[in-house]
């Protein structure tokens, strides 16, 4: 077990439970929570456990490997995964009772072969491409794929538990066109003799904006973590609580005279005498190096203070001038968290980097300790309670 307070992503379990509960209230149907990419950087096991406690009926990953890791971590709930390499090991997925998203005939045959070999029934969910032009079976493949799936289901080798597709989020008209194509796919599947239990199209954005796209299940990632997928709506406006508080601590403090250059290249020079705080997080931990000079800030002792100078691989500098007398080594520094609790929202970094909140949280590096906390989001967990699970 790793411990420490130098680089911590504190993950509020109550926040994840609340967000999932909120999705359940919004939709009234089943909720699949996506925990791919290490739970969007929050820790896949932590995220999966909290999501299930909040009422998710299934968790999902992209890869089989991610799904297997969850099983090994003791997650017994249904798990779905849908993105497979050419040599994907469906045998391991079948043995671990993982539901496999199937995008084409070859995957279906490989899954059936694995089931035959183990003398068991594999569970599949058929993934349809309704316009995103990525993963999923194209409409012209549907008749043959569905007929073969029905045959394998009758033979007891593959049970088709669901059908799903993914939206391009290109606007309401496109969403409706994709939904119409999805409806045709579901109808064709039924006509082939398969009645799917789970029918799902909406991810986070459509779950929030389009009740007519909820079907009987939604498949959400980012809103389970309390982040907004909508450019013009904040977490709070959507009734969500950001679950991750990224924090570190001051490991050195130094008073400097006016004219002092800071960090590589001296692209920040202190205009007046001030105090600089050293914080041991850097671009290897997922802080974008290009934040340098862009106006990003952190909270220290409840105050907003600017990041100054270039961000290094392992460390950066905060100008804590006016706070100097109040600070000691070990003082907590919050890089982002819940703005309702006074912390910078992750959307500041995302905006400065011209990207989305998803990319920032998913990019938090492996040196950062994920610490589950029963405290509300906001970095309030006691330092003594950081041992994790």
Ligand X SMILES: *Cc1c(COP(=O)(O)O)cnc(C)c1O
Binding residues for substrate: 134, 313
Which residues fall within 8 angstroms of residue 185, CB to CB, at 6 or more apart? 128, 130, 139, 142, 163, 165
Residue 219 is a binding residue for ligand X (CB under 6 A): yes
Calpha distance 231→133 (Å, rounded): 23
Active-site choice (36, 40, 215, 225): 36
Residue 357 is a binding residue for ligand X (CB under 6 A): no
Q: Is 127 a catalytic residue?
A: no
Active-site choice (40, 215, 264, 283): 264
DSSP string computed for 65-124: HHHHHHHHTT--S-EEE----TT--HHHHHHTT-EEEE-SHHHHHHHHHHHHHHTS-EEE
Q: Which residue blocks in the chain are alpha helix, DSSP H?
A: 13-27, 36-40, 44-53, 64-72, 90-95, 105-118, 142-154, 172-191, 204-209, 346-352, 357-362
Residue 333 is a binding residue for ligand X (CB under 6 A): no
Site stretch for ligand X (CB under 6 A), options 5-13, 219-227, 291-299, 318-326: 219-227
Residue 166 is a binding residue for ligand X (CB under 6 A): yes
Residue 221 is a binding residue for ligand X (CB under 6 A): yes
Neighbours of 376 (CB within 10 A): 18
Q: Among residues 129, 143, 144, 130, which one has the least CA distance to residue 181?
A: 130
Choice from 9, 15, 34, 79 touching ligand X (CB under 6 A): 34
Residue 201 is a binding residue for ligand X (CB under 6 A): no
Residue 204 is a binding residue for ligand X (CB under 6 A): yes
Output the smallest distance, CB 203 to ligand X, in A. Answer: 4
Binding residues: 134, 313
Calpha distance 323→247 (Å, rounded): 18
Residue 222 is a binding residue for ligand X (CB under 6 A): yes
Output the smallest distance, CB 202 to ligand X, in A. Answer: 8
Calpha distance 261→242 (Å, rounded): 36
Q: Would you say 103 and 90 are in contact if contact means Cβ atoms under 8 Å apart?
A: no
Output the smallest distance, CB 319 to ligand X, in A. Answer: 35
Residue 208 is a binding residue for ligand X (CB under 6 A): no
Residue 362 is a binding residue for ligand X (CB under 6 A): no
Residues 240 to 269 in contact with ligand X, rule: CB under 6 A: none
Under rule CB under 6 A, how many of the chain's residues touch ligand X? 11
Q: Is 215 a catalytic residue?
A: no
Contacting residues toward ligand X, per CB under 6 A: 34, 36, 166, 203-205, 219-222, 229
Give the catalytic positions in this structure.
36, 264
């Amino acid at each position: 077990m790793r411990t420490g307070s130098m680089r911590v992503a504190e993950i509020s379990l109550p926040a994840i439970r609340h967000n999932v509960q909120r999705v359940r209230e919004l939709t009234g149907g089943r909720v699949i929570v996506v925990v791919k990419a290490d739970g969007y950087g929050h820790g896949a096991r932590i995220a999966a456990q909290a999501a299930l406690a909040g009422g998710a009926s299934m968790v999902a990953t992209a890869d089989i490997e991610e799904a297997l890791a969850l099983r090994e971590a003791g997650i017994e709930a249904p798990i779905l995964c849908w993105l497979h390499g050419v040599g994907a090991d469906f045998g391991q997925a079948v043995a671990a009772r993982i539901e496999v998203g199937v995008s084409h005939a070859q995957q279906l045959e490989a899954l059936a072969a694995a089931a035959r070999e183990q003398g068991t029934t594999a569970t599949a969910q058929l993934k349809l491409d309704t316009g995103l032009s990525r993963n999923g079976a194209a409409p012209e493949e549907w008749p043959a794929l569905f007929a073969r799936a029905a045959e394998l289901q009758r033979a007891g080798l593959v049970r088709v538990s669901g059908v799903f597709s993914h939206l391009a989020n290109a606007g309401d008209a496109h969403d409706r066109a994709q939904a119409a194509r999805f409806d045709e796919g579901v109808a064709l599947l039924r006509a082939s003799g398969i009645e799917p239990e789970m029918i799902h199209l909406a991810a986070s954005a459509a779950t929030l904006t389009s009740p007519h796209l909820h079907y009987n299940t939604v498949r959400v990632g980012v809103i389970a973590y309390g982040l907004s997928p909508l450019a013009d709506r904040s977490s709070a406006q959507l009734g969500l609580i950001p679950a991750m508080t990224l924090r570190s601590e001051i490991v050195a403090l130094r008073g400097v005279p006016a004219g002092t250059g800071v960090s590589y290249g001296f692209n920040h020079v202190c205009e007046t005498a001030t105090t600089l705080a050293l914080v041991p997080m850097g671009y290897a931990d997922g802080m974008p190096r290009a934040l340098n000079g862009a106006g990003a800030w952190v909270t220290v002792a409840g105050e907003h203070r600017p990041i100054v100078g270039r961000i290094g691989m392992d460390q950066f500098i905060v100008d804590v001038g006016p706070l100097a007398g109040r600070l000691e080594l070990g003082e907590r520094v919050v890089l982002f968290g819940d703005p309702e609790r006074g912390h910078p929202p992750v959307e500041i970094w995302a905006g400065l980097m011209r990207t989305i909140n998803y990319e920032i949280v998913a990019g938090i590096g492996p040196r950062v300790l994920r610490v589950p906390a029963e405290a509300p989001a906001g970095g309030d967990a006691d330092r003594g309670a950081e041992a994790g699970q």
